[in-house]
């Protein structure tokens, strides 16, 4: 069987890190990469992790690209600190590593919001490429929403990973603030411009697609909140892009 290194990037996740670490104890190495947490995250992680490293955070892609070469084993599984690997997924990964047929594997996610699993809307087909050969993968050079670029063939796991990304509206709003700043930078780098039509059209389109086309209304009030937040995120992203055109940024967006 191929040996496995799990990489867990984290920052101020004292509420979630213990359960995340417990869920990956099947791995041969657990590497926690902390971006200088100010809570008890590192204290909680040290007894459970093989190693705890600290590295200055620029964005998610940069942090993970720095972390991947730190792994000791050829196969890497990246698990965010707000995620948990189920026993079923752990078993499937171990079977895959007995005789890997691909160079990387997509893993679908079960997403939870305000304590409820979200089964519809834009989250219903959420998947991430997280299990891969260390030397054949790196993240895209993007400020946010970067995916793995795999220099090889990818398969897909059948089991899912649990994802508790937004545990409150305040938590959601803080992340939206950061992600939309980074998203505006991505859009500018891609040659897009912020216009009134783009600000309105994308915002309305995100709501309609999430709530009606992808049946987000079947998730009840939570589905409505998510659709509205996605519309708000789109509004902020393109509004910030418009702002960048008017006033060039003087500093990096806050974490």
pLDDT per residue as tens digits for the range 49-86: 999 999 999 999 999 999 999 999 999 999 999 999 99
pLDDT at 251: 55
Cβ atoms of 146 and 199 closer than 8 Å:
no
pLDDT tens digits along 106-150: 999 999 999 899 999 999 999 999 999 999 999 998 888 899 999
Q: How far is the CA of 218 from the CAs of 138, 162, 211, in angstroms?
A: 36, 20, 8
Taking the C-alpha atoms of residue 64 and residue 62, their distance in angstroms, rounded to an integer, is 6
Q: How far is the CA of 50 from the CAs of 1, 7, 8, 10, 172, in angstroms?
A: 20, 10, 11, 15, 31
Residue 213 pLDDT greater than 90, yes or no: yes
pLDDT band of 171, cuts 50, 70, 90: confident
What tokens were used for 199?
A: 């600000």
């Amino acid at each position: 069987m191929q040996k496995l290194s799990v990489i867990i990037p984290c920052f101020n996740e004292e509420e979630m890190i213990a359960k995340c670490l417990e869920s990956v104890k099947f791995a041969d190495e657990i590497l926690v990469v902390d971006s200088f947490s100010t809570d008890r995250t590192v204290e909680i992680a040290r007894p459970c992790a093989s190693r705890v490293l600290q590295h200055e955070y620029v964005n998610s892609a940069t942090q993970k690209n720095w972390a991947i070469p730190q792994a000791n084993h050829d196969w890497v599984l990246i698990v965010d600190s707000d995620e948990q690997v189920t026993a079923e997924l752990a078993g499937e990964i171990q079977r895959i590593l007995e005789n890997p047929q691909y160079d990387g594997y997509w893993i679908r996610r079960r997403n939870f919001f305000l304590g409820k699993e979200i089964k519809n809307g834009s989250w219903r087909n959420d998947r991430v490429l997280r299990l891969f050969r260390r030397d054949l993968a790196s993240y895209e050079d993007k400020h946010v929403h970067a995916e793995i670029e795999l220099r090889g063939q990818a398969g897909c796991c059948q089991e899912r990973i649990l994802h508790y990304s937004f545990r409150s509206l305040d938590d959601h709003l803080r992340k939206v603030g950061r992600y939309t700043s980074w998203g505006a930078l991505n859009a500018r780098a891609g040659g897009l411009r912020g216009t009134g039509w783009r600000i309105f059209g994308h915002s309305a389109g995100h709501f309609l697609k999430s709530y009606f086309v992808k049946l987000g209304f079947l998730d009840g009030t939570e589905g409505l909140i998510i659709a509205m937040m996605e519309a708000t995120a789109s509004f902020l992203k393109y509004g910030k892009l418009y702002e960048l055109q008017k006033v060039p940024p003087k500093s990096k967006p806050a974490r």
